[in-house]
Amino acid sequence: AQSVTQLDSQVPVFEEAPVELRCNYSSSVSVYLFWYVQYPNQGLQLLLKYLSGSTLVESINGFEAEFNKSQTSFHLRKPSVHISDTAEYFCAVTLAGYSTLTFGKGTMLLVSP
Amino acid sequence: DVKVTQSSRYLVKRTGEKVFLECVQDMDHENMFWYRQDPGLGLRLIYFSYDVKMKEKGDIPEGYSVSREKKERFSLILESASTNQTSMYLCASRSGGASYNSPLHFGNGTRLTVT
């Protein structure tokens, strides 16, 4: 079975600073990787996903993540965060051919002025 | 736009009560899921369903059951609520077939408190 590790439960950062949220997975077979975001009092919504092809994927609001097979990582980055990016971020993985997602425990991004 | 609706935002029930959490999606999706979300534990899959009347256990099915009589509706049932089932419950749906790379669409959650 696959597993996902998000090492940081909270990441405090100042507005306009860069941020990296770390995600590592354990699987020796082909995987599909996702980042979801949960804003306060809302459900989760897809931020970006890696299925195949280019290892660098981007979202419409400036986040990017890079799939690194050798390090089994899929870290999320943003060069300059906004207050509105304050939310909880979940990394998730599924194996090719499976329909269920396994989620990490989440990282709370706290952006302050 | 995709919509997953959970009938209650907040729910307070007593220990031993039978509890129904309802979820409806309007996207004609085959796959539906129930997760619970707890601080420090992330999301854990309780049950999922591939189609009407089909169900599969997730990682933590004990104390729960589900019902899917219609494609758009997926109900989570707590047969006899206990305090350790106090949690946020999230419903999600996704298109079926070879759709493991399709995104999940989530409802806004039901915060259940069992006293």
Question: What does the H/E/C string look like for A20-82?
Answer: EECCEEECCCCEEEEEEEECCCCCEEEEEEECCCCCEEECCCCCEEEEECCCCEEEEEECCCC
Q: Is B43's Cβ below 8 Å from some Cβ in A?
A: yes
Average pLDDT over residues B3-16: 94
Q: How far apart are the first and last CA of chain A?
A: 41
CATH of residue B90's domain is: 2.60.40.10
Question: What's the domain range around B110?
Answer: 4-114
Domain boundaries, chain A: 3-112
- Exposure string of A1-21, with b = 16+ CB inside 10 Å and e = fewer, is ebebebeeeebebeeeeebeb
Name which of A80-89, A92-101, B11-20, B59-68 the model is least confident about.
A92-101
CA-based nearest residue in chain A for residue B59: A102
Which CATH architecture best describes the domain A3-112? Sandwich (2.60)
CB-closest option in A42, A46, A96 to B103: A46
Question: What pLDDT sits at residue B97?
Answer: 62
Interface test with B, best of A44, A89, A94, A95 (most B CBs within 10 A): A44
Is the pLDDT at A97 greater than 70? The verdict is no
pLDDT surpasses 80 at A79: yes
Number of folded domains in chain B? 1
Q: Is the dihedral of CA A110, A31, A72, A65 positive or negative?
A: negative
